[in-house]
A and B are shown apart, each in its own frame.
Chain A
C-alpha cells in the first residue's frame, strides 16, 4: 500500500531577509576584497617589473606600489600561488554557504551539502592550478561533476545550483580569474537571496496565482496527502497524520508488539501524545492464528525531554498488559 508524503510546509507570513544578513554580507565582501587585494599584492602570480624613474600615471603608480609591496617580486612559486588561489576560493564561497543556511529550513537543510559547497572550489582550484592548459582539465571537470552527482543525493533541484556555483568559483579561481569568481559569488548570492525572499516558484499556489490566475479566482483545495496511512483510534489524526515525519531524520519507526491491538492502541497513543513531539501511525500487522495480537507500527519523533528509551519504557509500562515489546525497525514493506 503506497503512502504519499509531502514536504513540511514553510512557515506562513512574509519573509524577512533581515538587516543583519545584508550588513554581514556587505561587510564580509568588503573585507574579503581587501584580503584578496593584499594577498595578490604580496604574492603576485607573475614577476613584477621594477620601474625606472618612478610612476608617471595612475596605472604606473599602482604597478610601482605592487612592486614595492610584493614579498615575492620575482613571481610566486606554484605552491604559494595555489595557496593564495585556494584562500581566495574559500573566502568567496563562504557567502554561498551562509546564504544556503539562511534560506533553508531546518528540515531542508543538508549539512553534507554545506561541506561540499565549501570544500569543492578549494579542491577544484588546486586541481586547476596543476592541470591548467591541459586536456586533463576537461576530464577533471567531468570527474568532479560525476563525483558530486553520485555521492550527493540532492534533496531538491535548488541544491544543484549551489553545487554548480561552487564549481564555478573553483574554476574561476583555479585559472586565476579571481575577478570572475568574485563576480560570480556576488551575483549568485544576490540572486539566490532575492529569489528566496520573493519565494518565487517555491510554493505552487503562490506561483500559480502570480503567473496564471486571473485576479480574484480561487485555487482548488489541495488534495489530502496522507494516502491510506491509518489514523489514530480517535479518528481525527491530529498528530497521527503528521506525514512531515517521513523526512525528519530524528524520527524513528517503532514496532509495538501487542497482545490485543484494540486494547493497546488507546494506551499507546496516549503515551505518544504525551512523550512524542510528532508521531504518525504507519500500519498494522496481525499475527498468525491470533485474535487481535500483532504489530502496530508508528513513526515517532520523541520529545527531547523524554528521549526514545524512556518513551519505549513508558509504552511497556503504561501499555501493559496489552503491549509486550517495542522495537526500532524499518517500515513495513507491505501492509
Chain B
C-alpha cells in the first residue's frame, strides 16, 4: 500500500486503552510504535527516557506495539508479555525490562522478567500461553498500519509523524516546537 500524506498523521487518537506516561493534558504527546526486539527501538529507549525527563509533566508518552514478526521471532511474545504485565498493573516495569534485556526474550527469559518485575508468574504464563492478549497487540498493529507505520520505531508528535533524527537534542527540539506551536494555536 503506498504511503499517502494522510497516512503521515496518527489516525487512532490516544485514548484510555493506551499505555501512557504523563498527564492527559500535557502540552505535547509523543506516541511510539515499537518492537521490543528491534535494535533501533532499543537504541531509542534510553533517548526517550531522557526526553521524558527533559519535559517532565509537559509530555505524555504513549507506547503502542508494532512487533515485526518476520524479522524478530520473539517480538510478538514480548509484546504479549508486556500486556500480561499490564493486566497486573506493571506494563512500564515490563516495558523497561524488555528494552533493557533485548537479547533475552525467549519463553524462559520472559518468565524471569515477569518474576523480577514482581508479577504473579503463574497467571502471567497462563495468559501468555493462552494468547490472552494477542488481540490487544493486534489492535495496536492495525492502528499503526492505518497511520502508515511500516517499521520501528515510528514516532508521532501531537499526532504528526516525526521522521527527523532520533537523538535527544533533535527530539527535544521537535517536541518543544510542537508544544510552542500548539500553545500559539490555543
In contact, B169 and A329 (Cβ under 8 angstroms): yes
Residues of A within 8 A of B27 (CB): 324
Enumerate B159-181 residues with CB–CB distance to A below 8 Å.
168-169, 172-173, 175-177, 179-181
User: How far apart sit A313 and B58, CA to CA, in the bound complex (Å)?
Assistant: 12
Q: Are A324 and B184 in contact (CB under 8 A)?
A: no
Beyond contacts A289-B184, A327-B54: 15 other A-B pairs, Cβ-Cβ < 8 A, are A255-B172, A257-B173, A259-B183, A289-B181, A293-B184, A295-B173, A312-B53, A316-B56, A324-B27, A324-B180, A325-B55, A325-B59, A325-B176, A326-B54, A327-B168
Scan B41-72; emit 1 where CB is below 8 A from any A CB, else 0: 00000000000011111110000000000000
Closest to A286 in B: B180
Give every chain A residue within 8 A of B59 (Cβ-Cβ): 325
Q: Quick one: which of A291, A295, A327 has the most chain B CB within 10 A?
A: A327
In the assembled complex, the Cα of A293 lies from the Cα of B182 at a distance in Å of 11
Chain A count of residues within 8 A CB distance of the other chain: 20
> In the docked arrangement, what's the CA distance between A257 and B184, Å?
14
CB contact between B176 and one of A257, A289, A291, A312 (< 8 Å): that residue: A257
* A290 CB–B CB distance under 8 Å: yes
Minimum C-beta distance from A106 to chain B (A): 30
Which residues of B lie under 8 Å from residue A259 when comparing CB positions? Answer: 179-180, 183
Find out whether the CB atom of B172 lies under 8 angstroms from the CB atom of A257: yes
- Residue among B56, B172, B184 making CB contact with A291, cutoff 8 Å: B184
Q: Are A294 and B180 within 8 A (Cβ)?
A: yes
Contact of B177 among A287, A291, A312 (CB under 8 A): A287
Residue of A nearest to B59 (CB): A325
Interface size class of B (residues with CB under 8 A): 20 to 34
Contacts of A324 in B (CB 8 A): 27-28, 55, 58, 176, 179-180
CB atoms of A325 and B177 under 8 A apart: no
Report chain B residues within 8 Å CB of A295: 173, 176
Contact (Cβ within 8 A) B181 A290? yes
Minimum C-beta distance from A284 to chain B (A): 14
**A290-B184 in contact given A259-B179, A324-B176, A327-B169 (Cβ < 8 Å):** yes
CB-CB under 8 A from A257, the residues of chain B are 172-173, 176, 179-180
Given A291-B184, A293-B183, A316:B177 Cβ within 8 A: no
